[in-house]
Structure 1
Amino acid sequence: MAGAPRNILPAESEAVIASDVKIQVDKVYKIFGNRPDDALAELRAGAQKAEVLQKTGCIVGLNDIDFSIRRGETFVIMGLSGSGKSTLIRHFNRLIEPTAGRILVDGRNIMEMNAKELLAFRRNGISMVFQRFGLLPHQTVLENAICGPILQGVNRREAVALGMEQLELVGLKGFENRFPRQLSGGMQQRVGLARALATQADVLLMDEAFSALDPLIKSDMQEQLKDIQARLKKTIIFITHDLDEALHLGDRIAILKDGELRQVGTGEDILFRPADDYVERFVRKVDLSRAMVAHEAFEKIPVLTEMEATSERSSALLREHPGVIVTNGTASCLLARGASGSAMPVASVDAGAAIGHCFPLLAAEDAILVTEDGAATGMLTREMAFKALARSARVA
């Protein structure tokens, strides 16, 4: 693989329909120092970050960042300390102004907003969850949750109803009259999330929101965020230095190094088609069983109602497929090839579940059902799981 950095957009990303794009980052540069114009000229002439520092005394924060974010996706920006990820996320609400470039939200360049327009955008269009919670210690949980709607001009009764709705959504109903000091770290982060959601903004910025939490609470918050996102379909920009977290949460991932964009793609793209040597080294020690999902390993099989699942029809289908799903409309069972007797209930997993999550179930049963949109559509066996992991290991 080539060692030089490349801004990689996989083929599936290049064909994004314009109407699906919520945010467009267009050739954004950020340079810190007293000679930004000189530093920008050096960068555009091909100079590297260290050269720019030596020649101009300026620090390159971001260098020609260019990508789009789809409406309703969780887009993870990751990199090590100093990569530029926290600098980048603060451009989306203009807490940091770029040296050059544009950021368009719903087609509008936010860099052209005047002070009044920018204030309205920050109050209504975009919200942020901070790493260190950022709660007001003298206010109750509910008061913290409704500060956004109150600033938006929502009357207090409506704001309280909205705040209570969000607190229930994040599992804090009953804690609305407590103060932040009375809550655990994980609960305080939930208040921060409820506060961001209460603004009803379309875009949610999360700057290493879970990094201050212990591993168990962090895992719980990740699952809660996935559940909330499945229901609300916000456009989430999530910053992390944790690759496992990025793979678990992100629909797509952007990897930064020294202010440069090295690759944008799905978790599968990043793991199995790294753009350069840096990305390859970055993902080398990832546990593939946690990165690969059941959808990539299972096999779709016929689905029959109980009335359709006659012995003759089931036998005919089993000659062509490894199993048949038999459903009564509310529950599904599996009739596997070689099994004697009728279809039997077995464990099931969602198609998006990690292969590693399936191993304990496959240790107890020869096969499990895989569901898509709540309905059983296929089966996963130990052999299927191992073959998928072996294929991926060869690709990697």
Structure 2
Amino acid sequence: MSARLEAEHLYKVFGRRPKEAAERLRDGADREELRADGTTAAVIDASFAVAPGQIFVVMGLSGSGKSTLLRMLNGLLEPTAGHVRFDGQDLTALGAAELREVRARKISMVFQHFALFPHRSVLENAAYGLAVQGVPRAEREERAAEALRLCGLAGWERSWPDELSGGMQQRVGLARALATDADLLLMDESFSALDPLIRRDMQDQLLQLQRTLKKTIVFITHDLNEAMRLGDRIAVMRDGRIVQDGTAEDILLRPADDYVASFTKDVDRSRVLTAAAVMDTEPRGDEADCGCATATPDTPFGELCALGARVPHPVAVLDADGAVVGVVPPRRLVGALGDGPGAPEPCDSPREATDGKVTARA
């Protein structure tokens, strides 16, 4: 599947002689060397591709460069070096007027702090992007009302932002982005200002909308649990660089380094893993005799444990055609919860075993 969005060797350097600094980074200089010269390297050699309909999550600690990276994707920040391509069009080659047109019609952004106009009604806020496009009032109000309905805000159209809870205000921001029918949504820590329960509700809302709308989404977060719940793929950033890019299972079971491993040590693996992530794709001896206990590659780990507890033999994992694609012996269930014996090894690739159809969401 061809990529919808591509970032190619992106650099963003703030300070004196940024292009020269980017060249120094290419030649092996590090962030601290540049900082000593009064230059800050916010993003260093970032490359990734996002497929159509995919949620691509970028996560990292504060100062890792993730928000700067996001703002280069729609031209709010000009890259010091590198390219951003959307549907094959090089956005970094566009002029200011062309970029504004792209942002108005093709790429929408959902901000962390709602960014609603207090003097506009909920409906007017949701319709704002369409007003910028010059859409006639009747049409934009109809489209905005539909977006509000999708976001669970039907009946609140004539209310004012200060009459809404924080979660409801964030839904208005999401509705505003959806109303423009943009192909790409950029979400900059959009749920991080919300209380935990409301935040989870918004995650549920986004996943529900995604099942229907199948938008291409880049989502920024510093919360690994949120990243693993939402992301089809996850990029982990550190000091301006992407240190790992993979599925939730990749990040959890095969961390690229100690830094990534430190993020994952407190994650509840049972809420992330699926049968595809822990199954043995090369059954041996009695492991191939799985009786009638079966699962699918996307069976959640919790259900898999319950199934495995009821039978004395390994659980068979069947694909959509009923063919056995792997088995899950008890040692795999135990090993997957930690780093002890029986944990899946790097050679056990769930993507290879299931043709890429791996589900990682809780």
Indicate whether the TM-score tops 0.5. yes
**CA 182–390 in structure 1, closer or farther in 2 if over 3 Å, else same:** closer
**CA shift for structure 1 position 366:** 4.6
Residue 199 (structure 2) aligns with? 218
The 5 Å alignment of 1:189-338 reads 189-296=170-277, 322-323=291-292
Residue 59 (structure 1) aligns with? 40
| TM-score for the superposition, normalised by structure 2 | 0.82
Residue 386 (structure 1) aligns with? 333
8 Å contact kept, 1:25–1:103: yes
**CA 391–37 in structure 1, closer or farther in 2 if over 3 Å, else same:** closer
Residue 284 (structure 2) aligns with? none
Q: Counterparts of 2:156 and 2:304 in 1: how far apart (Å)?
A: 35
Structure 2 letter corresponding to 1:279: V
**CA shift for structure 1 position 277:** 2.1
Q: Counterparts of 1:283 and 1:125 in 2: how far apart (Å)?
A: 35
Structure 2 letter corresponding to 1:32: F
**CA shift for structure 1 position 358:** 7.3
Gaps of at least 5 residues in structure 2 are 281-288, 346-362
Gaps of at least 5 residues in structure 1 are 1-16, 300-319, 326-348
Residue 306 (structure 1) aligns with? none
8 Å contact kept, 1:73–1:235: yes
Q: Percent identity?
A: 47
Deviations 1:252-276 (A, max 9, x none): 0001101011010001111111112
**CA shift for structure 1 position 38:** 3.0
Secondary structure class of the residue paired with 2:217 = strand
Deviations 1:330-381 (A, max 9, x none): xxxxxxxxxxxxxxxxxxx99756434777x779x9599x9999x9x99x99
Deviations 1:228-270 (A, max 9, x none): 0111111000000000000000000001101011010001111
Greater gyration radius: 1
Structure 1 letter corresponding to 2:260: V
**CA shift for structure 1 position 65:** 0.8
Structure 2 letter corresponding to 1:25: A
Q: Counterparts of 1:28 and 1:297 in 2: how far apart (Å)?
A: 35
Q: Which protein has the bigger strand share?
A: 1
Q: Is 2:32 the counterpart of 1:50?
A: yes
Q: Is 2:3 the counterpart of 1:34?
A: no
Q: Counterparts of 1:236 and 1:93 in 2: how far apart (Å)?
A: 12
Secondary structure class of the residue paired with 1:263 = strand
The 5 Å alignment of 1:106-125 reads 106-125=87-106
Secondary structure class of the residue paired with 2:72 = coil
Correspondence for 2:7 among 6, 11, 25: 25
The 5 Å alignment of 1:346-357 reads 352=298, 354-356=300-302
Deviations 1:111-148 (A, max 9, x none): 11122211110100100000000001111111111111
8 Å contact kept, 1:289–1:356: yes
8 Å contact kept, 1:298–1:384: no
**CA shift for structure 1 position 395:** 3.9
Alignment root-mean-square deviation, CA:
3.1
Q: Counterparts of 2:109 and 2:196 in 1: how far apart (Å)?
A: 22
**CA shift for structure 1 position 214:** 0.5
Q: Counterparts of 2:149 and 2:186 in 1: how far apart (Å)?
A: 21
Secondary structure class of the residue paired with 2:73 = coil
**CA 33–170 in structure 1, closer or farther in 2 if over 3 Å, else same:** same
Q: How many residues align?
A: 330
8 Å contact kept, 1:298–1:385: yes
**CA 390–79 in structure 1, closer or farther in 2 if over 3 Å, else same:** closer
Q: Counterparts of 1:149 and 1:353 in 2: how far apart (Å)?
A: 41
**CA 322–384 in structure 1, closer or farther in 2 if over 3 Å, else same:** farther
| TM-score for the superposition, normalised by structure 1 | 0.75
**CA 101–381 in structure 1, closer or farther in 2 if over 3 Å, else same:** closer
